[in-house]
């Protein structure tokens, strides 16, 4: 299927000819990312070539460049979005500040009302979510940060459309004609002609009332009320929505019970928005800078498209407490020349990924359309899996990830080798934490008080002749593990089995999981295993952490 998402969010994208300074490879690279994002975040490379109408060799070069940056993986014949790509959406979210500043208020409102609350911004003739405080209820579908709704479906759109000009209305009508069933919006159930038919009426009501209702415009049962939030200059920068279900509220009772609290929250949000920005004046250098691109070009030759890498680097320069950046600041942060940065910005502006305000550039919500919501679905085991596969290919031993469940470790990811092990482990398998390397890493990562309390409560049975069963001894071992950053356990869970584990930490330094390599004890000495395996295992954990920290910035990543 060819879904041209470019067409329904930004006037001119795909239609108007690019300005002469525009960077072709950046246009093509973004087209590939968009096509990858509209499906499940995974597509055959041949299909990508068809959908983008680019030559296969061009798509291959784009993909090898994106793979080098860490934004996609190529697995056999398929290209897959990778978590690192979320750094582009993170840059937009950090720069727009709405999630950071207003998210806590939305969370509090959700707690107070015990209903889902979201924040959404206008994006062309659509509405894009920038925050979700969900109350998980099985009955209705839940949106994620980055998801896009047609403006006529849902409560926030009628608030934003009140400010539409001729151009926006033209774009809306054109899209309605081209795609009456909303197939270009993968997250909404197809087609609701009523939503379009009542749109103007609802815009008028929203203008009059200052709030807007969604009476099952998205799907049967789903009702919502939204109110606009204005910045210091009076612009409607986002909408806060409270989402409920007809089993709890009709639109009348929803309005009666939540409009008061919503208005109070909006007032607090507007105060927060009026507080001046206190960022430093120079953004810190970004990771994927110009010198990295040069080195990659050197390593990959024609399979690395430098101008695509440069253009994407420009997007990552945003955020860091800076709502907008000058050309000079962007060039400084990325290490690019002003001329290169300028051409990238002209291209991104043409495609609707940045806007200008005076002399400052800022990313747009459209950046979230580059796979953000797809990737926001990933769990920690899914993030870890490709890194564990690489680790196993490197060390030729089985690798796993576990989390702490009570006094046990529980496997959440596992990549076995062909070696026949006596232990039969699958995802879900549990072992006592105290006798395993991953368990010791997880116990050592607990706050000291909790660790002590946990140790006192665990019965320490001798599972083999080697199992540590003295609480004092185990406490000393855990101190060592905490100090060294790894645990090596030799034949304490099972005779003949050796395992080396290291922690996986979240952005705050909290240990959330452990990864290990396990092997036959008879094949080498413990010293030799440590010398051979600690570095590759540590690198795999670091790669998992890098992805997790990007994914975790604005979305919660499930550890199971
Ligand atoms: C949501 O956040 O899920 C939501 C918001 C507004 C709507 C419907 C759903 O109208």
φ, ψ at 518 (rounded to 5°): -120, 150
Taking alpha carbons only, the member of 360, 302, 312 closest to residue 334 is 312
Indicate which atom in ligand 1 lies nearest the CA of residue 118: 2
With beta carbons less than 8 A apart as the criterion, state whether 361 and 91 touch. no
| Ranges of H-type helices in 370-525 | 372-375, 380-395, 437-444, 448-457, 471-484
Residue minimizing CA distance to atom 4 of ligand 1: 243
Between the CA of 242 and the centroid of ligand 1 the distance, in Å, is 7
What pLDDT is stored for residue 282 in this prediction?
62
Whether the Cβ atoms of residue 541 and residue 502 lie closer than 8 Å to each other? yes
> Probe ligand 1: pick from 103, 134, 150, 226, max atoms within 8 Å of CB?
226
Pick the atom of ligand 1 nearest to 226's CA: 6
> DSSP label at 540?
H
Longest dimension (CA), the chain: 80
Q: Of 155, 199, 228, which is best to mutate to test ligand 1, by the most ligand atoms within 8 angstroms of its C-beta? A: 155
Residue 467, H or E segment? none
Cα of 119 vs centre of ligand 1, distance in Å, is 9
Residue 7, pLDDT score:
37
Atom of ligand 1 nearest to the CA of 222: 8
CA-nearest residue for atom 8, ligand 1, is 154
Instruction: Tell which residue, 538, 540, 433, 550, has the closest CA to residue 492.
Output: 433
Asked if residues 291 and 306 have their Cβ atoms less than 8 Å apart, the reply is no
Euclidean distance between CA atoms 361 and 381, whole angstroms: 37
Q: Which atom of ligand 1 is nearest to the CA of 155?
A: 10
Residue showing tokens 């990549």: 415
Distance 226 CA to ligand 1 centre (A): 8
Predicted confidence at residue 62, as pLDDT, reads 98
Task: Please tell me the distance from the alpha carbon of residue 416 to that of residue 397, in angstroms, as a whole number.
Answer: 7
Do 477 and 467 touch, CB atoms closer than 8 A?
Answer: no
Helix (H) or strand (E) holding 123: strand 116-123
Closest atom of ligand 1 relative to the 132 alpha carbon:
2
Distance between Cα 18 and ligand 1 center (Å): 35
Q: If you search the block for the tokens 């973004």, which residue do you land on?
A: 30
pTM beyond 0.85:
yes
Mutation probe of ligand 1 site: the residue of 116, 153, 225 with most atoms within 8 A of C-beta: 116
* Spatial contact of 341 and 334, defined as CB atoms under 8 Å apart: yes
Gap from CA of 155 to ligand 1 centroid (Å)? 7
**Dist. CA 382–CA 461, nearest whole Å:** 33
Ligand 1 center–CA 251 separation, angstroms? 13
Mutate to test the pocket of ligand 1, among 115, 143, 195 (most ligand atoms within 8 A of CB): 143
Residues 449 and 421: their CA atoms lie apart, in Å, by 37
Please, what are the domains in the chain? 5-90+280-375 (1.10.10.10), 98-274 (3.30.450.40), 380-551 (3.30.450.40)
Query: With contact defined as beta carbons under 8 Å apart, do 456 and 471 qualify?
Result: yes
Residues with CB under 6 A from ligand 1: 116, 118, 143, 154-156, 214, 218, 222, 224, 226, 241, 243
Q: How far is the CA of 276 from the centre of ligand 1 (A)?
A: 30
CA of 217, closest atom in ligand 1? 10
Residue 10's nearest CA partner among 303, 348, 412 is 348
Mean pLDDT by 10 residues, the chain (560 residues): 37 70 97 92 96 97 97 96 98 95 97 96 96 80 93 97 94 95 91 89 97 96 97 95 95 96 98 79 62 89 94 92 89 94 98 95 97 96 98 96 97 85 80 98 96 92 96 96 98 96 97 96 95 98 98 95
The pLDDT value recorded for residue 303 is: 93
User: Using alpha carbons only, what angle is made at residue 7 by residues 52 and 39, rounded to the nearest 5 degrees?
Assistant: 55
Distances (CA, A) of 93 to 90, 270, 365: 5, 18, 8
498 contacts 534 by C-beta, under 8 angstroms: no
Pocket probe for ligand 1: among 141, 222, 244, the residue whose CB has the most ligand atoms within 8 Å is: 222
């Amino acid at each position: 299927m060819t879904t041209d998402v470019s067409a329904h969010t930004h006037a001119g994208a795909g239609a108007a000819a690019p300005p002469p300074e525009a960077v072709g490879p950046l246009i093509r690279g973004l087209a590939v990312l968009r096509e990858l994002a509209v499906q499940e975040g995974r597509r055959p490379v041949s299909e990508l070539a068809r959908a983008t109408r680019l030559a296969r060799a061009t798509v291959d070069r784009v993909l090898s460049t994106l793979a080098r940056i860490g934004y996609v993986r190529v697995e056999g014949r398929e290209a897959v979005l990778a978590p690192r790509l979320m750094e582009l959406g993170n840059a937009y979210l950090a720069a727009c500040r709405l999630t950071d500043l207003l998210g806590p208020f939305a969370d509090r409102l959700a707690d107070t009302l015990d209903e889902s609350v979201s924040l959404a911004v206008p994006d062309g003739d659509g509405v894009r979510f920038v925050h979700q405080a969900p109350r998980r209820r099985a009955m209705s579908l839940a949106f994620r940060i980055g998801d896009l709704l047609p403006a006529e479906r849902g409560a926030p759109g009628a608030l934003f459309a009140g400010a539409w000009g001729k151009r926006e209305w033209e774009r809306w009508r054109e899209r309605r004609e081209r795609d009456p069933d909303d197939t270009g919006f993968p997250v909404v159930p197809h087609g609701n002609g009523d939503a379009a038919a009542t749109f103007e009426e609802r815009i008028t009501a929203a203008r009059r009332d200052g709030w807007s209702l969604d009476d099952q415009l998205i799907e049967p049962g789903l009702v919502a009320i939204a109110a606009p939030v204005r910045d210091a200059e009076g612009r409607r920068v986002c909408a806060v929505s409270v989402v409920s279900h007809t089993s709890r509220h009709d639109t009348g009772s929803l309005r009666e019970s939540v409009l008061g609290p919503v208005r109070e929250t909006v007032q607090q949000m507007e105060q927060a928005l009026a507080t001046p920005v206190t960022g430093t004046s120079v953004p810190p250098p970004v990771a994927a800078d110009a010198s990295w691109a040069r080195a990659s070009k050197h390593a990959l030759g024609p399979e690395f498209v430098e101008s695509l890498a440069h253009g994407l680097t420009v997007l990552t320069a945003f955020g860091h407490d800076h709502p907008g950046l000058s050309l000079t600041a962007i060039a400084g942060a990325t290490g690019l020349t002003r001329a290169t940065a300028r051409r990238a910005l002209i291209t991104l502006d043409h495609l609707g990924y940045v806007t200008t305000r005076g002399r400052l550039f800022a990313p747009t919500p459209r950046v979230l359309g580059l796979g953000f919501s797809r990737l926001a679905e990933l769990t920690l085991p899914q993030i870890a899996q490709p890194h564990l596969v690489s680790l196993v290919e490197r060390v030729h031993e089985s690798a796993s990830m576990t989390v702490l469940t009570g006094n046990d470790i529980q496997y959440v990811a596992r990549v076995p080798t062909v070696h026949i092990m006596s232990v039969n482990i699958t995802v879900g398998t549990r072992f006592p934490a105290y006798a395993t390397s991953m368990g010791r890493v997880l116990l050592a990562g607990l706050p000291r008080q909790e660790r002590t309390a946990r140790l006192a409560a665990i019965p320490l049975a001798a599972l083999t002749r080697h199992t540590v069963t003295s609480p004092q001894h185990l406490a000393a071992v855990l101190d060592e593990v905490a100090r060294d950053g790894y645990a090596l356990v030799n034949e304490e869970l099972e005779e003949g089995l050796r395992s080396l584990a290291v922690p996986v930490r979240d952005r705050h330094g909290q240990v959330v999981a452990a990864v290990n390599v396990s092997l036959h004890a008879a094949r080498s000495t413990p010293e030799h295993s440590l010398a051979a395996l600690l570095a590759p295992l540590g690198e795999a954990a670091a790669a998992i952490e890098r992805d997790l920290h990007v994914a975790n910035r604005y979305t919660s990543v499930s550890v199971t």
